[in-house]
A = this chain, B = another copy of it.
């Protein structure tokens, strides 16, 4: 940590900074410059509250050199984390994993129908919302536990693993009971009690980046899960808030290589929420894989025109098949591969 002094700071100001640092139990190292003096804080263990320093007389700014996250950092663990699910799907390895399914579980017929088609097309993980976070209190809120049971039935019939969202600590444990991967949605990325509870389950946790979250904040949310002793975190880029209403969100694909340089955790992309427009999903799915994503999570509905939510951004099943085909070719082009389809049992 570096405390930069104002160029008019007096020797007394500098001395007060040094004494404050030493009083906090760290070493202070003055660095005189041509235009101003700075004071280095040596021995920072990540617990320094810079507020105390920023408010001292003559201080211009406090610059953080170390990162506040630890366990998620690639400096902490250089080899990539690979998460293996019960059905053999490996996330974070060479293969690009395909997660797909409807926005919401709507009925047994709907979820079983789409699960079979997705499996045939090459997906290995089934997505589907049972508890739905909806901007309006008057919109369809999901089938709840009944939805979880239908997902489990789809898993039983197809072998697909299940990823589904938990909305609150009170129902997280029941979600964990049914899901192979617990999803923390973008709106809850900084719902810290929820992250802790998800961490405690030990199950894989998929954290979606919040609409206004920096990558550092995303990593710190993952750190909450790891701090509970659960190393199985998958990150997901799904678009940040943009200023152009041509798309629902602004898909920040550069986040993929940025996360990969800062962290050992796998990162996937959600081109459905990232664009919000069906005709843009396949191009951006291709782009995400080309950028190095470890997987995709995509909304597919047996009949998007009839979907109870997110119909406008859901692919038709045959579009998904076409997408898988294109994704496979791109994965090959960059030395990876689409994950092998599940063997029919």
Question: Which residues of A approach B to under 8 Å, CB–CB?
Answer: 2, 4, 6-8, 20, 29, 31-36, 38, 40, 42-47, 49-52, 54-56, 63, 65-66, 68-70, 75, 133-139, 167-170, 187-188, 190-194, 196, 210-212, 214-217, 220, 223-224, 227, 240-247, 250-258, 261, 274-275, 278-280, 283-284, 286-292, 304-314, 326, 329-330, 332-334
Contacts and interface: CB of A to CB of B under 8 A. Distances in A.
B65 A36 contact: yes
Given A137-B220, A169-B169, A254-B275, A43 B34 contact: yes
B243 A212 contact: yes
A52 B307 contact: yes
A280 B305 contact: no
Nearest to A61: B65
A304 B305 CA distance: 44
A284 B257 contact: yes
* Residue of A169, A217, A257, A288 with most chain B CB atoms under a 10 A cut-off: A257
Contact of A330 (B256, B306, B334): B334
A89 to B, nearest CB: 23
Contacts of A240: 212, 242-243, 250
Q: Give 4 nearest A-B pairs by CB, closest first.
A: A51-B311, A212-B212, A329-B333, A290-B290
A309 B150 CA distance: 45
18 contacts: A34-B44, A35-B66, A38-B40, A49-B308, A51-B310, A51-B314, A52-B311, A214-B243, A245-B245, A246-B255, A251-B253, A257-B284, A261-B279, A283-B290, A287-B288, A326-B333, A329-B333, A332-B333
* Residue of A38, A43, A45, A312 with most chain B CB atoms under a 10 A cut-off: A312
Contacts of A329: 332-334
* Residue of A44, A223, A290 with most chain B CB atoms under a 10 A cut-off: A290
A312 B48 CA distance: 13
A155 to B, nearest CB: 26
Contacts of A36: 65-66
A49 B287 contact: no
